[in-house]
Amino acid sequence: MLLIDGKATAQAIRTELKEEIRAIGAAASRPPQLTVILVGDDPASAVYVRNKERACAEVGIDSKTVRLSADTDAVTLDRLIADLNADAGVDGILLQLPLPRGLDSQACLACIAPDKDVDGFHPTNMGNLALGHAGFQPCTPAGVMELLRRYDLSPSGKHAVVVGRSNIVGRPLSLMLGQSGPFANATVTVCHSRTRDLPAVTRQADFLFAAIGRPRFITADMVREGAVVIDVGINRTETGLCGDCDFDGLKDKVAAMTPVPGGVGPMTIAMLLRNAVTAWKAHLGLGARA
Ligand code: NDP
């Protein structure tokens, strides 16, 4: 079985981005700038934000985190986003989710200027993705597609089954897989909690993508021999982190698979950094828009 190493791939991308920023640096008036908004004191979000800050620093992206208390109201948050939208020194705005109860994340995300929406969650960017137009793409599914490209695992003409239809993973991933292009062009089936006889569907997959949020949910009897399996799940269990796939059960049956941790997870941050660099180049007139 080919182990798809997301950690090494993400590191390679970070090195490439660092080089790119350095190479452009002389022609640019400033480095890329990413502003993260963290509302409340969710400990997991604090860890994610720290990881993003560290990754930005490593590649040469200037990052700043605006911390707001959990009782921040929508008007204050919207005003902050409007100020950042208007600030020519800010390339990317990332609103860390989940927001505390009482704040509507969809409404807040829609306030972010689409050209600074490095998470790719704005309806305009989602619409562009659905239409097959250029735009920022959500980082986790973009990371999955990048892994396929870098490992030369083309789903073109193959049956891709995506289990999960969330707006941040399953749905955008299914759109990306179904687009035209050498590392897309798949025939896509999207499954969810109401799918009848899920194993019968997943067994048809040449490429199987698990984005469910249930530890080791995909078992060996649910996959076809020789399938490519991408496990997006990150589940905390008593024995540590695990994916949505039963890695040990699948490993002798599939052709290629991502581990958890060290698979899709590191790619998500790498794609965020790439989106921030793309925004920077567009804002400084140094490259194409996203
Ligand atoms: P959501 O909870 O938003 O979505 C889960 C999806 O799985 C839903 O579409 C749901 O169906 C479907 N589902 C749940 N139970 C079943 C079932 N029994 N059979 C079939 N489908 C089912 O999760 P996310 O998309 O946000 O995340 C999915 C996983 O990916 C999580 O483990 C999360 O931690 C991980 N993740 C990893 C990231 C990374 O960087 N690697 C980033 C983001 C998420 P329905 O729509 O019908 O409810």
Q: Which pLDDT tens digits describe the chain residue by residue (290 residues)?
A: 999 999 999 999 999 999 999 999 888 999 999 999 999 999 999 999 999 999 999 999 999 999 999 999 999 999 999 999 999 999 999 999 999 999 999 999 999 999 999 999 999 999 999 999 999 999 999 999 999 999 999 999 999 999 999 999 999 999 999 999 889 999 999 999 999 999 999 999 999 999 999 999 999 999 999 999 999 999 999 999 999 999 999 999 999 999 999 999 999 999 999 999 999 999 999 876 66
3-class DSSP state of 92: strand
For ligand 1, atom 47: residue with the closest CA: 193
* pTM for the whole structure: 0.97
Q: Which residues of the chain are in CATH 3.40.50.10860 domains?
A: 29-113
ipTM greater than 0.85: yes
Buried-exposed string 15-29: b where 16+ CB fall within 10 A, e elsewhere: eebbebbeebeeeee
* 21 close to ligand 1 (CB < 6 Angstrom): no
Which ligand 1 atom lies nearest to the CA of residue 267?
A: 40
* Integer Cα distance of 278 and 286 in angstroms: 9
Q: Is the CB of 106 under 6 A from ligand 1?
A: no
Atom of ligand 1 nearest to the CA of 213: 32
Instruction: For residues 290 and 115, give the distance between their C-alpha atoms in angstroms, rounded to a whole number.
Output: 8
What's the CA gap between 87 and 58, in Å, rounded?
24
Residue 126 three-state SS: helix
234 annotated to a ligand binding site: yes
Find out whether the beta carbon of 31 lies less than 6 Å from any atom of ligand 1.
Answer: no
For residue 66, what are the contacts with CB-CB under 8 A and spacing of at least 6?
35, 36, 37, 38, 80
Give the residue numbers marked as catalytic: 52, 96, 119
Q: Is the CB of 171 under 6 A from ligand 1?
A: no
Residue ranges, comma separated, of all CATH 3.40.50.720 domains in the chain are: 139-266
**Candidates 3.40.50.2020, 3.40.50.720, 3.90.480.20, 3.40.50.2300; CATH matching 139-266:** 3.40.50.720
Does the annotation place 165 within a ligand binding site? yes
Separation of alpha carbons 119 and 268, rounded Å:
10
Rg (alpha carbons) of the chain, rounded to whole number:
19
Second-level CATH architecture of 29-113: 3-Layer(aba) Sandwich (3.40)
Would you call 44 exposed, middle or buried from its count of C-beta atoms within 10 A (0-12, 13-18, 19+)? exposed
